[in-house]
A and B are shown apart, each in its own frame.
Chain A
Amino acid sequence: MKVRVLFFGATADLVGNRELTLTCADTGTADDILHLILKDFPQLQDQKLLLSINQEYAYGFESVREGDEMAIFTAVSGG
């Protein structure tokens, strides 16, 4: 399946990209996707990362489906 992965702020700078499309096994969780990303971008390993799936915060155990939008980012700092 294909999953869109988005990066913002610090993670976008570290990855050098704001968005990529990941092709992976048809069943998997948000954590599975994260581990694939961390393998490709080990520079993210030292960060405390937060996840969202389809614009909702995710814990990691959630299933990811074809066409889902996942985002990986550091603790937010608006205001």
Chain B
Amino acid sequence: MDFFELTTDPLDVGEVARRVVPQECGATVTLDGYVRQFTKGRETLHLIYEAYEPMAVKEMQKIIEQAKSQFEIEHVGIMHRLGKLEIGETSVVISVAAPHRKAAFEACEWLIRKLKRTVPIWKKEVYANGEEWIEGDTSPPSLPISGS
């Protein structure tokens, strides 16, 4: 069973991994993404995530469908937390179950890269002396930048 959810509750990594496993699979690869304390030497106190929730859910569903058409995998679960997160708390979990591990590793890496580019979720880093919304490195593929 695939799933894609947003929550403000703490994430249980093991529970996400267990939910995706079907009988035909031999490996589940799970990414546990959590809040980093130091980025390029600067200390983060906490993070705040917000999402355009209905669009984020749609985009998560799309990347799961794309991953399943590109890789030999069976099921994907993605959960992303929103709200205020302390250092070390899990912000995102992606679990990919596959008959063989290689496809699961590749699909998991592909999914997190895609999620960071296309799923409308934003994080604000709060530092001791200020805060800023982080802007992603890239925009969705083939989408020209509007404005100006």
Contacts and interface: CB of A to CB of B under 8 A. Distances in A.
Nearest to A35: B147
Contacts of B68: none
A78 B147 contact: no
Interface in A37-72: 38, 44-45, 47-52, 55-57, 59-60, 71
B50 interface: yes
Interface stretch (B18-26, B96-104, B109-117): B109-117
Contact of A79 (B58, B92, B147): B92
A9 interface: yes
Q: Chain B, interface size: which category?
A: 35 or more
A79 B33 contact: yes
Interface in B94-148: 112, 115-124, 133-140, 143-148
A34 interface: yes
Contacts of B91: 78-79
Chain B, interface SS category: mixed
Contact of B115 (A38, A49, A60, A79): A79
A38 B55 contact: no
B51 A60 contact: no
Contacts of A45: 147-148
Given A76-B116, A79-B92, A10 B146 contact: no
Contacts of B136: 74-77
A67 B54 CA distance: 17
B138 A75 contact: yes
B136 to A, nearest CB: 4
A6 interface: yes
A78 B146 contact: no
Contacts of A31: 146
B55 A10 contact: no
Interface of A: 6, 8-10, 13, 30-31, 34, 38, 44-45, 47-52, 55-57, 59-60, 71, 73-79
5 closest A-B pairs by beta carbon, nearest first, are: A78-B121, A9-B122, A75-B136, A55-B55, A10-B133
